[in-house]
């Protein structure tokens, strides 16, 4: 019951987050709206949990180890992105890259401080699940989240928030690494040839993802896998496409999945008609 509901709810959350990419070009505003969307869906999850409480320890572990952290990590991630953007210094590519590297050191410190729990999560271990992800337990020797005392005891365990932090930090580390790569690469391109300075992708990210899936399916780059094509396009167009799998799911549910491709075809046909006149 909880799994089916949470899957639908998470799909709706990703739909709204992807829609914001189309609707809001200003990064700070987009992150702000994304945070509000995450809070809204997390509250829906909480309300559903309270009326459909996990009935067994196994269901509790499933909910607090798999379901809730997935939602909470998105909230932490977008809040972190907002903080990064708000505090980003004004300066050239080197200044921004140094700023991001320092933020990466903060993330590394978090992993080092929670190494044993991180290893537990990364190895898909289960032997401490009854302590980490069942409500009402508080073992002081397992480094519980001290904030759990102030959390809603019906919607929190000692480690579900920490797991959400781990998931969010992984996403943030990937974002920082990728952004540093884009910033330093862009600087190198400008120094190499000023003619390439303004060749960033100007259409929406969703439009580019439409094209990428078409290129993959038609083997435009040979037998390359989808992820490697995405990485190549991100570098070539100086853009970060985020979770393109979730964007594709959102495209599949859209009334017209190929909006940009249809727009391109129409523009191309108009050009042909002009040429034939």
Per-residue pLDDT, averaged over 102-119, amounts to 92
In terms of Cα–Cα distance, which of 70, 65, 20 is closest to 45?
70
234-276 pLDDT, tens digit per residue, is 888 878 887 788 888 888 877 888 888 988 998 898 889 888 8
Tally the domains of the chain.
2
Q: Which residue has the higher pLDDT, 95 or 24?
A: 95
Domain-ending residue, one of 147, 176, 193: 193
Single pTM value for the model: 0.71
- Same domain (yes/no): 207, 182: no
Helix/strand/coil for 191? helix
Most confident of the ranges 50-54, 79-83, 203-207, 254-258: 79-83
122-142 pLDDT, tens digit per residue, is 899 999 999 999 998 887 777
- Same domain (yes/no): 124, 177: yes
> Is residue 190 pLDDT above 50, yes or no?
no
Q: Which domain holds residue 241?
A: 200-277
| Structure confidence at residue 53 (pLDDT) | 87
Do 15 and 38 form a contact (C-beta atoms < 8 A)? no
- Same domain (yes/no): 207, 185: no
- Same domain (yes/no): 224, 143: no
- Same domain (yes/no): 235, 173: no
| Structure confidence at residue 192 (pLDDT) | 43
- Same domain (yes/no): 187, 212: no
First and final C-alpha spacing in the chain: 62
Per-residue pLDDT, averaged over 145-166, amounts to 83
- Same domain (yes/no): 188, 273: no
- Same domain (yes/no): 270, 164: no
Domain-ending residue, one of 174, 193, 212: 193
Confidence of residue 214 (pLDDT cuts 50, 70, 90): very high
> Is residue 178 pLDDT above 60, yes or no?
yes
Give Cα 275 distance to the centre of its chain: 44
Helix/strand/coil for 12? helix
- Same domain (yes/no): 116, 6: yes
Exposure string of 66-94, with b = 16+ CB inside 10 Å and e = fewer, is: ebbbbbbbbbbbbbbbbebeeeeeeeebe
In terms of Cα–Cα distance, which of 255, 256, 232 is closest to 244?
232
Per-residue pLDDT, averaged over 45-62, amounts to 91
With 0-12 / 13-18 / 19 or more C-beta atoms within 10 angstroms meaning exposed / middle / buried, residue 193 is: exposed
Per-residue pLDDT, averaged over 18-43, amounts to 88
- Same domain (yes/no): 168, 245: no
Integer Cα distance of 9 and 266 in angstroms? 36
In terms of Cα–Cα distance, which of 11, 77, 47 is closest to 254?
11
Integer Cα distance of 127 and 271 in angstroms? 65
- Same domain (yes/no): 205, 150: no
């Amino acid at each position: 019951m909880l799994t089916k509901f949470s899957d639908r709810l998470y799909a709706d959350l990703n739909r709204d987050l992807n829609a914001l990419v189309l609707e809001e070009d200003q990064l700070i505003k987009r992150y702000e709206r994304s945070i509000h969307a995450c809070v809204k869906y997390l509250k829906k999850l909480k309300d559903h949990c309270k009326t459909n409480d996990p009935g067994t320890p196994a269901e509790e572990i499933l909910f607090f180890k798999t379901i809730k952290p997935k939602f909470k990590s998105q909230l932490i991630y977008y809040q972190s992105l907002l903080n990064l953007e708000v505090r980003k210094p004004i300066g050239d590519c080197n200044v921004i890259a140094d700023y991001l590297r320092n933020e990466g050191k903060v993330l590394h410190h978090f992993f080092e401080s929670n190494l044993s729990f991180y290893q537990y999560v990364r190895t898909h271990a289960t032997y401490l699940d009854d302590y980490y992800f069942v409500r009402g337990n508080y073992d002081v020797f397992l480094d519980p989240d001290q904030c759990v005392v102030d959390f809603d005891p019906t919607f929190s365990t000692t480690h579900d928030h920490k797991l959400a932090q781990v998931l969010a930090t992984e996403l943030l580390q990937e974002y920082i690494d990728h952004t540093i790569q884009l910033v330093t690469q862009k600087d190198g391109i400008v120094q190499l040839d000023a003619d390439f300075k303004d060749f960033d992708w100007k259409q929406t990210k969703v439009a580019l993802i439409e094209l990428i899936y078409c290129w993959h399916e038609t083997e435009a780059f040979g037998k390359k896998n989808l992820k490697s094509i995405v990485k190549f396009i991100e570098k070539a167009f100086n853009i970060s496409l985020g979770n393109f799998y979730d964007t594709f799911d959102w495209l599949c549910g859209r009334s017209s999945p190929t909006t940009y491709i249809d727009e391109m075809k129409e523009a191309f046909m108009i050009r042909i008609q002009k040429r034939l006149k």
